[in-house]
């Protein structure tokens, strides 16, 4: 027997190449955030003190996280820095357009970071990752059913629960359960019973979302299901069969509920409806985002901010107008980088559970990003989904950090302390 070792060096120590590089990135990120804070606060008026407090605490939290995990525990925090950067853009844009909603967005980011840390710590043990799969599946279906029964119908969809002044979108939290239940260790992957149970769970989730008329989220769930099913089975024929059944189901729904089809009547015809609800938002998004050029007109100086859902569905256009196409491209590259990290880390994951979970989480982020950007630019029908980490919305922000936790947990360096990670390949 001959043993060969492929050692993957760990660069997390202070003074190492990665340690110096991460410190440089943190300093550049902080400088950018200070400049953005100054620009937003310049027009804050009576909200100056409140917004200054949120910005200061956010930057302090970043550095506390960096000190604890990068300096003290000597761990890679590249993924978290991407999360911090994108979340800060969301906080600044929200504070500029709607200062009264900055508090909600700030606490959503802090809650998302807490969820991220909790999930990563919990998934540290490979033996307990399966313990919550069944209870989480039951809770997810129960939460969606509760939403269907008691949620208020807004813009034709029943996907929001109001608890006093707080609004919650349960389907965002169920996304985490959807991936957690679908990911499985090797013994579950080899069990046809386990796969059948997950198929029934996935169909139930997508069906409930369809009954809520939340078709954008249903499409994200379905695309994620296809990825998880392929990762678990590798059977192309089964995937094709499932997709065919889904297409037939969509045709039946559109036939029985023709009013749903009217929502997409303006697709590829938005300029014919630029003065009515069919294309008003999208045409303005295209016009104003193009006017921003490469560097933008400056935060607070855009026109798209006056259009409905400017900080939610239309956030990509608003950023393109005020901060420029350069910032928009960097956001897309950052989100794509998370997917690349998930694929890379999957090769060294400790269990098939983490491989499937990280790839599915990254896939969900990419699908949602594509639906948001291509929807507002009329390459795809407008579905009203948010841009991960960037759009305003507490439920969406918390979910985005939860998805990042799956990608983080697949990286073996997340639980290493100044130790190299070795993979051994034995050959005769």
pLDDT in tens, 264-299: 667 777 888 788 777 888 899 999 999 989 999 999
Mean pLDDT taken over the chain: 84
pLDDT at 16: 66
Q: Looking at residue 185, what is its pLDDT?
A: 67
Q: Which of 186-190, 227-231, 290-294, 298-302 has the lowest mean pLDDT?
A: 186-190
Q: Which of 79-93, 94-108, 229-243 has the lowest mean pLDDT?
A: 229-243
Residue 240 has pLDDT above 80, yes or no: no
Which pLDDT belongs to residue 102? Answer: 94
pLDDT tier for residue 254 given thresholds of 50, 70 and 90: low
Tokens of 371: 């639906």
Of 21-25, 240-244, 308-312, the one with minimum mean pLDDT is: 240-244
Average pLDDT for 84-99: 96
Query: Regarding predicted confidence, which is higher, 275 or 170?
Result: 170
Task: Say if residue 7's pLDDT is above 60.
Answer: no
Residue with the bigger pLDDT between 233 and 14: it is 233
| 195 vs 281, higher pLDDT | 281
What pLDDT sits at residue 12?
A: 43
Contacts with 417 (C-beta within 8 Å, 6 or more apart), sequence order: 73, 74, 75
pLDDT of 383: 81
What percentage of the chain exceeds 70 in pLDDT?
83
Q: Indicate the pLDDT class of residue 348, thresholds 50, 70 and 90.
A: confident
Q: What is the mean pLDDT of residues 374-391?
A: 89
Q: Which residue has the higher pLDDT, 230 or 30?
A: 30
Least confident of 186-195, 241-250, 377-386, 413-422: 413-422
- Please determine, for residue 114, whether its predicted confidence score (pLDDT) is greater than 90: yes
Confidence of residue 50 (pLDDT cuts 50, 70, 90): very high
pLDDT band for 358, please (50, 70, 90 cuts). very high
Residue 395 has pLDDT above 70, yes or no: yes
Instruction: Grade residue 1 by pLDDT with cuts at 50, 70 and 90.
Output: very low
Residue 271, pLDDT score: 84
Range from 31-45, 154-168, 362-376 carrying the lowest mean pLDDT: 154-168
Indicate the pLDDT class of residue 2, thresholds 50, 70 and 90.
very low
- Above 50 in pLDDT, residue 91? yes
Instruction: Specify the higher pLDDT residue, 328 or 192.
Output: 328
Task: State the pLDDT at residue 88.
Answer: 97
Name the residue with higher pLDDT: 126 or 207: 207
Q: What is the mean pLDDT of residues 413-426?
A: 48
């Amino acid at each position: 027997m001959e043993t060969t070792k492929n050692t993957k060096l760990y660069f997390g120590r202070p003074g190492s190449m990665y340690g110096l590089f991460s410190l440089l990135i943190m300093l550049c990120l902080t400088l950018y955030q200070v400049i953005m804070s100054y620009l937003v606060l310049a027009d804050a008026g009576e909200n100056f003190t409140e917004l200054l407090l949120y910005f200061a605490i956010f930057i302090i939290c970043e550095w506390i996280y960096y000190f604890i995990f990068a300096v003290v525990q000597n761990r890679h925090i590249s993924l978290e820095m991407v999360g911090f950067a994108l979340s800060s853009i969301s906080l600044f844009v929200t504070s500029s357009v709607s200062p009264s909603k900055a508090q909600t967005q700030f606490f959503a980011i802090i809650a998302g970071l807490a969820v991220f840390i909790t999930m990563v710590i919990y998934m540290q043990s490979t033996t307990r990752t399966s313990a919550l799969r069944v209870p989480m599946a039951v809770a997810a279906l129960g939460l969606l059913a509760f939403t269907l029964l008691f949620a208020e119908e807004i813009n034709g969809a029943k996907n929001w629960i109001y608890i006093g002044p707080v609004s919650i979108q349960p389907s965002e939290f169920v996304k985490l359960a959807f991936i957690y239940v679908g990911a499985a260790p090797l013994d579950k992957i080899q069990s046809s019973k386990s796969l059948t149970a997950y198929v029934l769970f996935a169909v139930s989730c997508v069906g409930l979302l369809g009954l809520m008329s939340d078709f954008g989220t249903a499409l994200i769930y379905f695309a994620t299901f296809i990825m998880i099913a392929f990762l678990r089975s590798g059977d192309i024929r089964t995937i094709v069969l499932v997709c065919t059944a889904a297409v037939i189901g969509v045709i039946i729904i559109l036939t029985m509920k023709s009013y749903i089809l009217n929502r997409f009547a303006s697709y590829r015809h938005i300029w014919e409806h630029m003065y009515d609800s069919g294309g008003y938002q999208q045409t303005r998004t295209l016009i104003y985002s193009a006017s921003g050029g490469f560097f933008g007109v400056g935060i607070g100086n855009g026109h798209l901010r006056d259009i409905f859902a400017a900080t939610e569905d239309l956030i990509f256009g608003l950023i393109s107008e005020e901060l420029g196409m350069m910032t928009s491209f960097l956001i897309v590259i950052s989100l794509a980088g998370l997917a690349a990290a998930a694929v890379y880390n999957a090769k060294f994951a400790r269990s098939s559970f983490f491989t499937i979970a990280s790839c599915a989480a990254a896939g969900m982020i990419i699908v949602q990003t594509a639906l948001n950007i291509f929807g507002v630019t009329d390459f795809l029908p407008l579905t009203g989904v948010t841009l991960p980490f960037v759009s305003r919305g507490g439920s969406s922000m918390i979910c985005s950090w939860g998805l990042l936790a799956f990608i983080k947990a697949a990286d073996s360096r997340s639980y290493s302390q100044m130790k190299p990670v070795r993979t051994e390949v034995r050959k005769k």
